[in-house]
Structure 1
């Protein structure tokens, strides 16, 4: 068998190869420098926070703005519960709002947190997106009965796209507790009684929710839940 000779490298290909090699060598250093800069920024921010503001960042409240799916406009009159929540946000005493859906409303409330609070820390908008948002998929227990891990990842990805478009940042899913007593009402949110199957489906759903880049609008921060002695119902 006759082998054709390889073309001689040109100056351009040699320079390109050298640049690529240098870039690959520098990538870990750049990533480490960025991580260090992020850590310093976070530490500096924490140092400026009062005790009330620190406690406020741990606060999660049902979203009182969620009943306005068409969005809240600055000129609207808010009800008393919304006014109280708005005051807490402006004071930097609110970390996350729960089960509010609607991009316009999210934008309005986020502007309040970023522009009107002392430190401008953004809110997290979380929701229970367990088996779809607009598009409804089989409940997790039913999906697990398929033994199709790839399917679980794809349905979680679809839910993340719809959730991100609706202004949600985080989902309280997957549910990773093991169904040891079938009388427990939340067995339906998990993958059943098999530990290995539950592990595989939880990992697949987490990958689907989060995607390749958590900064992307179509990614949801997955929050695996109920993994510590929650499903061990007795009588």
Structure 2
């Protein structure tokens, strides 16, 4: 029996739920913060991961709570939005894609991964792969722009850079392809607004970067806040299970966006 299997057998139902709970530390909160004492929740086995926390010392202190002061000692996963650098800051993704240089994109992601991993970060909430052709949308700078081919090449380069040869390597970060899907097609360019899109546009424009991400072994995919053709993406069975899981064979983690 593997270590993971033995831990799962030993966990209570509440502890298993806790492993699904990703809480914000508040260092760079961009959304609502769940009330409560995070350190107490960690000790009680009610937290599986923390995001928006960085810096070697504070990450190490928080990790020790989970490893040394909980019943089973399961380590926390630390995640952060590392869109264009950790300590070293690179141009925003839209500017990077303008170089049309996949090797450059991979190298900047590799540098970011090395810096973040040595300070205890495990998971990057990047790359953002929202293709957008509406200049009113306020998050265009975070993604690869308007072209699905460029977006697909960008996706693969960034994921290779973040994850390296193996996720078990010390300098590796698990990549998260987001936001699945069509967030860049929000009605009137209003972030998180509903998306009304044809099947042809969905498969020719908005889904290709995610297909490319799966092809290179992306560790995680984040569902979008928006709904697509009337169905919220967080519960979109046809796209999450039908397309991602069954058609593409994605077997990594699917996570919801912030409090979705």
Task: Give the aligned partner of residue 258 of structure 2.
Answer: none
- CA drift at 1:42: 2.4
Give a deviation string over 1:129-167, Cα, whole Å, max 9, x none. 100112111110111011101000000011111111222
Alpha-carbon distance in 2 for matches of 1:185, 1:53: 39
Q: Which has the larger radius of gyration?
A: 1
Residue of 86, 90, 94 corresponding to 1:137: 90
Task: Give the aligned partner of residue 95 of structure 1.
Answer: 48
Q: How does 1:62-211 map onto structure 2 within 5 Å?
A: 62-64=24-26, 66=27, 84-211=37-164
Alpha-carbon distance in 1 for matches of 2:128, 2:151: 9
Task: Give the aligned partner of residue 59 of structure 1.
Answer: 21
Task: Give the aligned partner of residue 226 of structure 2.
Answer: none
- CA drift at 1:227: 2.2
Q: How many residues end up aligned between the 2 structures? A: 183
Alpha-carbon distance in 2 for matches of 1:60, 1:83: 13
Alpha-carbon distance in 1 for matches of 2:21, 2:48: 5
**Structure 1 runs (4+) greater than 3 angstroms displaced:** none
Alpha-carbon distance in 2 for matches of 1:97, 1:156: 21
Unaligned ranges ≥5, structure 2? 29-33, 189-260
Over the residues paired in the alignment, what is the CA RMSD in angstroms?
2.0
TM-score scaled by structure 1? 0.73
Report which of the two has the higher share of strand.
2
Report which of the two has the higher share of helix.
1
Alpha-carbon distance in 2 for matches of 1:62, 1:184: 26
Unaligned ranges ≥5, structure 1? 1-36, 68-80
SS at match of 2:78: strand
TM-score scaled by structure 2? 0.66
